[in-house]
Structure 1
Amino acid sequence: MEKVLMLHSSCEGQTIKILKYIAQELGVDYHCDIQDIHQLPAPNFSEYDKVLIGASVRYGHLNKKLYQFIERHHESLAAQKAAFYCVNLTARKPGKDTPETSVYMQKFLKKSVWQPMLLEVFAGALRYPRYNWFDRTMIQFIMRMTGGETDTTKEVEYTDWRRVSAFSEAFKAL
């Protein structure tokens, strides 16, 4: 049985939902430990066969704690079979939904000392009723500018679960 360390840097929970889906897709041949990257002191990477990190974009940026974690552990990450995925609402649009075309993934690759073996970008979810007033107003403004959903009574999940399944298979093959 392979052991997988699954780390997340999530704002609203869609990144975690995707991580749990991947764990389920990996099946019974894998033991998956899911941890919050912001609360994990120092993982023992040698206990794991693979590492997967998922991170969400908030207001155009990945969390700075993600970069701090990577900076501290980049040598261990580089020695692992490791993958990274980014979750953002921009990826709901064709042409902005691949590692090569996602501005957020390209920014990550330029800023990060770690260059993962496998990359992917997933569209996130819009959860207006769950946001506080400020976030709801700001996200609605951004969605209006980018031609997205602006009805604040709605929740819309843009994640393409078939792509998540395909990524899971690619991760298995690492």
Structure 2
Amino acid sequence: MNKPVGIIYSSTDGQTLKICRRIAVHLEDLGFKTDVIDIASFHTKISMYSKLIIGASIRYGKHHKNVSAFIKTHQQDLERIDTAFFSVNLVARKPDKNTFDTNPYVIKFFKNQDWKPKRIAVFAGRLDYTSYSFFDRLMIKLIMKITNGPTKSDHPIEFTDWERVKDFSTKMSLN
């Protein structure tokens, strides 16, 4: 029996989880079994997976601290299998900021990590002012104003490029 692909996520507003579920569907269509697990409730041995994908969202310029903690705790095991990492952030809506070597958050994140996955991707997230707390709405509007993004919208704006997500999934299916 083949080992499943582990897809572990840290999601602030749910878009990273949505992307993880889409990756799982793509991989399952390619014949893989998958497990999608919140990083905060991961209590499994990494060795039970053939591949492991970590997806993490950005809030205020940083990935959640549990992502770095997970990597530090499991680094030796992560180095023994095929791994990938993807970041979800609104800066990635810009074509010049949507790759691992152009996205400032991902560059900064990996400067502080000893672990280097085989694949790294960056996906744009989803902007939904109506779902944010008052403080988050103000802060995100300020960030959007500074970065020339939309500061008003009565409905969510999905920036995720689902074809890029599918391409990432396909690349994960290869050896």
Shared fold, TM over 0.5: yes
Shift of 1:100: 1.0
Q: For the residues of structure 2 that align with 1:54 and 1:159, how far apart are their CA atoms?
A: 14
Name the structure 2 match of 1:90.
Answer: 91
Q: How does 1:1-174 map to 2 (within 5 A)?
A: 1-28=2-29, 29-40=31-42, 42-174=43-175
Shift of 1:107: 1.0
Range with greater deviation from structure 2 (67-76 or 148-157): 148-157
Q: Helix, strand or coil for the counterpart of 1:104?
A: helix
Deviation string 1:101-132 (CA, Å, 9 cap, x unpaired) is 11111112111121101110000000111111
Shift of 1:150: 0.8
Paired residues in the alignment total 173
Which letter does structure 1 place at the counterpart of 2:65? K
Structure 1: 5+ residue stretches without partners: none
Shift of 1:54: 0.2
Q: Helix, strand or coil for the counterpart of 2:55?
A: strand
Contact kept? 1:4, 1:33, Cα under 8 Å: yes
Q: CA RMSD in A?
A: 1.1
Shift of 1:39: 2.3
1:152–1:137: structure 2 CA closer, same or farther, 3 Å change rule? farther
Deviation string 1:30-82 (CA, Å, 9 cap, x unpaired) is 11111111222x32111111101000010000111110111000000111111
Contact kept? 1:8, 1:55, Cα under 8 Å: yes
Contact kept? 2:130, 2:154, Cα under 8 Å: yes
Superposition TM-score, scaled by structure 2 size: 0.95
Identity %: 42
Q: Helix, strand or coil for the counterpart of 2:9?
A: strand
Q: Helix, strand or coil for the counterpart of 2:160?
A: coil
Which contiguous aligned blocks of 4+ residues in structure 1 show a shift greater than 2 angstroms? none
Which letter does structure 2 place at the counterpart of 1:145? I
Q: Helix, strand or coil for the counterpart of 2:41?
A: coil
Shift of 1:154: 2.7
Which letter does structure 2 place at the counterpart of 1:96? K
